[in-house]
C-alpha cells in the first residue's frame, strides 16, 4: 500500500512538472505531449584544475552511456516512438521523401583508378540501394560489373567499397561494410577468373591494405580499440593467427599507442613498404618509416622521425617527395633522402601565400592543388619545381587535385559546387587536354541558381569567407528560410561541394550558407591552430558572426534560421544551442560530440585529444568545461527546435553523447519547441546504409528543419 502511494506521488509530481512547461508546439501548428520521462541517476565527478580548487559536475544520465543496458534500450525505444509521433504529423513528409528520392536516386560513380588502359570504379545505378564495382577497358568502353553490391543483404544495408588494385591490374581489393560502421571485411578478387580468391581479412578498422608485388600476401594495418594500430603481413593461404607482426607496440623505444594511427602501403614499383605514423587526429606529428622489400631482412628505417609537424610522402620511382607544413604553415614540397636530416633536403616548391591542399605525381609531372580563398587552383610542374601548366576549373566551386600514377599519362580530376553535381574529367598529361569522363545526372536545374563567396568579420576582427547559394532573384527581406552548415576543426577545409540535401532546400526557395570557420585548413595550419585547444571558442564566435552577417544583410531572420552539422560539426551545433539559442529557430545535430568532459573514454575519442585536449589534464579542463555543451545546458532557457540524430552503427563518435544530451535538453527547455532524438539502429558515421534508408533519414531531417523555420 505504501509502495503504491509512493509511486502515485511520483507520477503526480512528474505530471505536475510537465504541466509547468509550455505546451510543445510545432511551427506546423500541431502540439506534442511532453517528452518521455527519463529517470535521473546522478553520478558526480571531481576534476583537477590548474591554479584553482577542484571542480565537481553531476551527470544525471551517466547510465545511458551503456548502449546495451536494458534501461538504455528502453530509453531509445521511447524516444523513437516520441519522434515518430512528431514525424507522423508532418503532412509535407511524403512529398519531401518523393523529391529527396529524385535527387538521391540517380546514377552515381566514383573517381576511376587506371591500370594499363583499364579503369576500375564503384557505381550505383539509379534504382539500386547500393553500388557495385566495375571495370571499363578504354576511356569509352562498356562498363563490366565485377562485384555486385545490392545482392549482399536483404535490407540493402551491406555495401562494397573499392579499396585498390595491383599495379598489373590482376588482383583487386574491396571491403564489405554493414550499415554505417567504420569497420569492414577485406576481400580479394581475381580479375582473370572473375571470382574471389577465398582470402578474407576479418571485420576491423583498417588503416591500410596493400598487396605485395609478388601477390603472395598482403600488408595491412589493423586498429584495436584501447590498443592502437599494428601492421602485419598476411601470407595468402594461411590463417590470420599466423600473420607476421611488422610494426606495433613501440618503435625505437617509443610507445605506439591508441592515438597513433599507422598507415601502410607498397610503393608503385614494389620496392618500398611505407609506414606513416600519425600521432593523433589530426596528427600533431607524422613519422615516415621505410622498409626495403628487395631485401628480406632489411630493417625498418626512418625517413623522418620525431618532428612535431606533418609530412606526406610520394614515392616516384626511388625518389622521395615530401609535402609538409614543417617550418611552412601553408606547406611546401621537399625532396627527401634516407639518412639525411630534413634541414638538408632540397626545396622543390617553397611555401606561398596560398595553402597547398594536395600534391600528386602523374604522367611524369607534379600536380599541386592550392586553395585561393577556399577555391581550388590546380597547376602542373616538372619534378624540379618549374611550372608548366594550369588547369582551369569552370567557375565558383570545388576543384580537386589530380589522381593517377606517375608512369601513366591518364589523370583524373573533378569539379562540383553547391549548385552543380560532380563532373569527372580525364586529363591527358602528354597533350594537356581534358575531356569529360562522367557527369552525375540530376533533376536539379543548376542554371536557375547562383553561388557566390562573401567575407564577414568575426568577433576578434578576423576576416572569414562564406559561400551563399540560392535561386536567382530570391528575396532578401529577412522573410526567407536559410540553412547554414559548418565544421571548423581537424584541419579539414569545407569546400562548396554538391549535396542533395542542400539542393532540396534551395529548390524549396530557401537560402543556403557555408562559412569556412577557423579550425579547418582553408588558410593553412595557422588557420587550424587558431581554433584548437584553448582557442576552440573562435570556431563558435566565427559561426555566430556568420549568422549575424546573414541576418543583418536580410538573407533571413532568427525565426527562419536553420542550422545543421555532424560529428565535430555536431559539437558546433551543441555550442550554438547552449551559447546562442536566440539566433536560430531549428537545429539538426548529427552524430555529435557533446559531453566534452568524457568524450575521450569512448570509441576513437582518445585520438582526438590532439585537437581538443582532455579534461583529465588540469591545464586543459577549464577551457573544455567552459564550452562543453552537455555541461552548459541552462535550466529554464528557451531553446529552439532540435533534432539529435545518431545510431548504433556509429563506431566513431559514441552515440552516448546524443543519448545523454536529449533528456537533459528536454528537461531544461522552456521554449515550447520540439526536442527530438532520431535514433537509427543501422546508421553510422560512414557511408553504407541503403539508399532507401538514406532518403528517409534525409527527408526526416529536411522536413523537420523546413517545418520549424516557418
Grouping H, G, I as helix, E, B as strand and the rest as coil, residue 20 is helix
Q: Cα–Cα distances in Å, from 268 out to 273, 317, 381?
A: 10, 7, 20
Whether residue 684 is predicted with pLDDT greater than 80 in this model: the reply is no
Could you confirm whether 214 is annotated as catalytic? no
Is 560 a known active-site residue? Answer: no
Residue 349, burial from CB neighbour count under 10 angstroms (0-12, 13-18, 19+): buried
The string of DSSP letters for 198-227 reads: EEEEEEEEEEEEEE-TTSSEEEEEEEETTT
Q: Is the pLDDT of residue 1 over 50?
A: no
Q: Return the H-helix or E-strand segment holding 360.
A: strand 355-362
* Average pLDDT rounded to a whole number, residues 418-428: 98
Strand partners, 413: 425
Q: Phi then psi for 228, rounded to 5 degrees?
A: 115, -160
Q: How far is CA 218 from CA 114, 195, 208, 263, 288, in A?
A: 21, 18, 10, 14, 20
Q: What is the pLDDT of residues 499-520, one digit of tens each?
A: 999 999 999 999 999 999 999 9
Calculate the alpha carbon distances from 642 to 22, 281, 398, 706 in Å. 16, 29, 30, 12
Going by C-alpha positions, the residue among 624, 458, 628, 643 that lies closest to residue 543 is 458
Mean pLDDT of 144-154: 95
Model pLDDT, residue 16: 35
Tell me the pLDDT band of 660, cut-offs 50, 70 and 90: very high
Sign of the CA dihedral 170, 171, 177, 182? negative
What is the band of 685 on the pLDDT scale with cuts at 50, 70, 90? confident
**Within 10 Å of residue 408's Cβ, how many Cβ atoms?**
16
Give percent above pLDDT 70 in the chain. 97
Q: How many CB atoms lie under 10 A from the CB of residue 26?
A: 19
pLDDT of 19: 40
Residues 6+ apart with CB under 8 A from 209: 163, 164, 173, 186, 201, 218, 219, 220, 221
The mean per-residue pLDDT over the stretch 272-290 comes to: 97
Predicted confidence (pLDDT) at residue 2 exceeds the cutoff of 80: no
In angstroms, the CA 204 to CA 97 distance is: 34
Residues 634, 171: Cα–Cα separation, whole Å: 58
Per DSSP, the three-state class of 518 is coil
The continuous run of DSSP H or E covering 81 comes out as: helix 70-88
- Any idea where the domains of the chain sit in the sequence? 42-101+519-707, 354-441
Cα–Cα distance measured from residue 4 to residue 153, given in angstroms and rounded to the nearest whole number:
49
Work out whether the CA dihedral 677, 678, 681, 682 comes out positive or negative. Answer: negative
Could you give the CA distance from residue 554 to residue 395 in angstroms, rounded to a whole number?
26
Cell 560529428 sits on residue: 567
> Looking at the predicted structure, is the pLDDT value of residue 404 above 50?
yes
Spatial separation of the C-alpha atoms in residues 332 and 324, rounded to whole Å: 6
Query: CB 434: neighbour CB atoms within 10 A?
Result: 15
pLDDT of 14: 32
SS3 454: strand
pLDDT for 4 equals 29
Q: Are 358 and 373 in contact (CB under 8 A)?
A: no
Taking residues 389-416, report their average pLDDT.
Answer: 97
Region 317-324 average pLDDT: 97
pTM of the prediction? Answer: 0.95
pLDDT at 6: 28
Q: Count H helices and E strands in the chain, helices first.
A: 11, 42
Grid cell locating 620: 586543459
Average pLDDT, the chain: 95
Name the nearest CA neighbour of 141 among 125, 157, 120. Answer: 120
pLDDT digits (tens, 9 = 90+) for 177-196: 998 889 999 999 999 999 99
CB atoms within 10 A of CB 264: 26
Q: Please give the Cα distance from 232 to 226 (Å, whole number).
A: 18
Q: What pLDDT sits at residue 21?
A: 80
DSSP one-letter string for 646-674:
EETT-SSS-THHHHHHHHHHHHH--S---
Over residues 162-170, the mean pLDDT reads 97
Average pLDDT, integer, range 247-262: 96
Q: Which of 159, 358, 398, 567 is catalytic?
A: 567
Residue 407 confidence (pLDDT) above 90 = yes
Distance CA 495, CA 301 (A): 37
What is the model's pLDDT at position 79? 98
Q: Among residues 260, 542, 650, 700, which one is catalytic?
A: 650
What's the grid cell of residue 403?
589522381
Which cell numbers hold the place of 240?
590470420
Instruction: Mark whether 567 is an active-site residue.
Output: yes
201-221: average pLDDT: 97
Q: Which pairing describes strands 244-251 and 254-256: parallel, antiparallel, or unpaired? A: antiparallel
Give the DSSP letter string of 234-253: EETTS-GGGPEEEEEEEETT
Which runs of E-coded beta strand occur in 82-194? 108-109, 113-115, 118-124, 132-137, 143-147, 158-165, 171-178, 184-190
Model pLDDT, residue 133 = 98
Residue among 157, 220, 155, 213 at smallest CA distance from 187? 220
Tell me, what's the pLDDT at 558? 98
Q: Assign domain 42-101+519-707 to its CATH architecture.
A: 3-Layer(aba) Sandwich (3.40)
The string of DSSP letters for 522-571 reads TT-HHHHHTTSGGGTHHHHHHHHHHHHHHHHTTS--GGGEEEEEETHHHH
Residue 405: predicted pLDDT: 96
Q: Which among 426, 560, 678, 685 is annotated as catalytic? A: 685
CA 209, CA 470: separation in Å to the nearest integer? 42
pLDDT (mean) for 475-490: 98
Integer-rounded Cα radius of gyration of the chain: 26
Gap between the Cα atoms of 265 and 268, Å rounded: 9
For 642, the enclosing helix (H) or strand (E) is: strand 641-647
Amino acid at each position: 500500500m505504501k509502495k503504491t502511494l509512493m509511486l502515485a506521488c511520483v507520477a503526480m509530481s512528474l505530471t505536475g512538472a510537465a504541466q509547468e512547461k509550455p505546451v510543445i508546439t510545432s511551427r506546423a501548428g500541431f502540439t506534442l505531449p511532453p517528452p518521455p520521462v527519463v529517470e535521473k541517476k546522478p553520478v558526480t565527478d571531481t576534476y583537477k584544475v590548474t591554479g584553482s580548487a577542484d571542480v565537481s559536475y553531476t551527470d544525471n544520465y551517466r547510465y545511458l552511456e551503456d548502449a546495451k543496458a536494458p534501461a538504455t534500450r528502453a530509453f531509445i525505444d521511447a524516444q523513437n516512438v516520441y519522434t515518430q509521433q512528431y514525424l507522423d504529423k508532418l503532412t509535407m513528409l511524403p512529398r519531401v521523401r518523393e523529391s529527396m528520392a529524385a535527387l538521391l536516386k540517380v546514377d552515381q560513380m566514383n573517381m576511376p583508378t587506371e591500370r594499363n588502359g583499364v579503369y576500375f570504379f564503384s557505381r550505383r545505378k539509379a534504382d539500386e540501394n547500393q553500388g557495385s564495382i566495375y571495370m571499363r577497358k578504354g576511356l569509352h568502353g562498356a562498363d563490366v560489373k565485377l562485384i555486385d553490391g545490392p545482392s549482399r543483404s536483404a535490407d540493402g544495408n551491406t555495401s562494397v567499397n573499392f579499396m585498390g588494385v595491383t599495379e598489373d591490374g590482376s588482383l583487386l581489393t574491396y571491403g564489405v561494410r554493414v550499415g554505417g560502421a567504420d569497420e569492414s571485411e577485406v576481400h580479394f578478387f581475381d580479375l582473370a577468373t572473375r571470382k574471389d580468391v577465398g582470402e578474407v581479412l576479418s571485420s576491423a578498422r583498417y588503416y591500410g591494405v596493400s598487396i605485395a608485388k609478388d601477390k603472395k600476401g598482403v600488408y595491412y594495418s589493423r586498429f584495436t580499440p584501447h590498443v592502437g594500430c599494428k601492421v602485419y603481413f598476411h601470407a595468402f593461404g594461411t590463417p590470420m593467427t599466423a600473420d607476421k607482426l611488422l610494426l606495433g607496440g613501440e618503435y625505437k623505444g617509443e610507445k605506439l599507442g591508441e592515438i597513433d594511427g599507422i598507415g601502410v602501403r607498397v610503393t608503385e614499383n614494389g620496392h618500398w613498404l611505407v609506414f606513416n605514423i600519425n600521432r593523433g587526429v589530426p596528427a600533431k606529428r607524422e613519422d615516415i618509416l621505410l622498409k626495403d622489400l628487395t631485401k628480406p631482412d632489411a630493417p625498418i628505417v626512418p625517413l623522418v622521425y620525431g618532428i612535431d609537424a606533418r609530412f606526406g610522402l610520394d614515392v616516384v620511382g626511388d625518389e622521395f617527395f615530401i609535402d609538409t607544413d614543417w617550418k611552412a604553415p601553408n606547406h611546401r614540397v621537399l625532396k627527401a633522402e634516407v639518412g639525411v636530416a630534413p634541414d638538408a633536403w632540397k626545396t622543390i616548391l617553397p611555401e606561398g601565400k596560398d595553402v597547398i591542399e594536395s600534391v600528386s605525381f602523374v604522367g611524369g609531372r607534379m600536380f599541386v592543388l592550392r586553395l585561393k580563398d577556399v577555391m581550388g587552383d590546380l597547376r602542373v610542374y616538372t619534378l624540379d619545381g618549374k611550372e608548366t601548366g594550369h588547369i582551369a576549373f569552370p567557375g565558383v566551386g570545388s576543384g580537386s587535385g589530380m589522381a593517377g600514377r606517375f608512369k601513366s599519362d591518364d589523370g583524373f580530376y573533378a569539379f562540383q559546387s553547391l549548385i552543380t553535381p560532380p563532373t569527372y574529367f580525364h586529363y591527358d598529361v602528354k597533350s594537356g587536354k581534358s575531356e569529360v569522363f562522367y557527369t552525375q545526372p540530376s533533376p536539379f536545374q543548376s542554371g536557375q541558381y547562383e553561388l557566390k563567396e562573401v567575407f564577414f568579420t568575426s568577433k576578434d576582427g578576423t576576416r572569414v569567407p562564406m559561400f551563399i547559394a540560392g535561386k536567382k532573384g530570391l528575396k532578401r527581406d529577412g522573410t526567407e528560410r536559410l540553412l547554414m552548415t559548418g565544421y571548423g576543426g581537424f584541419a579539414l577545409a569545407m569546400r562548396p561541394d554538391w549535396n542533395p540535401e542542400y539542393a532540396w532546400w534551395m529548390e524549396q526557395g530557401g537560402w543556403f550558407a557555408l562559412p569556412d570557420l577557423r579550425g579547418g585548413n582553408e588558410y593553412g595550419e595557422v588557420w587550424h591552430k587558431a581554433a584548437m585547444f584553448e582557442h576552440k571558442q573562435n570556431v563558435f564566435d566565427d559561426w555566430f558572426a556568420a549568422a549575424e552577417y546573414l541576418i543583418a544583410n536580410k538573407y533571413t531572420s532568427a525565426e527562419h534560421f536553420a542550422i545543421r552539422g555532424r560529428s565535430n560539426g555536431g559539437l558546433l551545433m551543441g555550442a550554438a544551442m547552449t551559447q546562442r539559442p536566440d539566433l536560430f529557430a531549428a537545429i539538426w545535430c548529427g552524430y555529435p560530440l557533446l559531453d566534452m568532459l568524457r568524450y575521450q573514454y569512448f570509441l576513437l575519442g582518445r585520438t582526438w585529444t590532439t585537437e581538443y585536449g582532455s579534461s583529465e589534464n588540469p591545464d586543459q579542463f577549464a577551457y573544455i568545461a567552459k564550452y562543453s555543451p552537455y555541461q552548459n545546458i541552462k535550466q529554464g532557457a528557451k531553446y529552439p527546435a532540435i533534432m539529435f540524430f545518431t545510431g548504433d552503427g556509429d563506431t566513431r563518435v559514441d552515440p552516448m553523447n546524443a543519448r545523454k544530451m536529449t533528456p537533459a535538453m528536454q528537461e531544461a527547455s522552456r521554449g515550447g519547441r520540439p526536442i527530438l532524438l532520431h535514433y537509427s539502429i543501422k546508421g553510422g558515421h560512414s557511408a553504407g546504409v541503403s539508399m532507401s534508408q538514406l532518403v528517409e533519414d534525409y527527408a526526416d531531417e529536411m522536413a523537420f528543419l523546413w517545418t520549424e523555420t516557418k
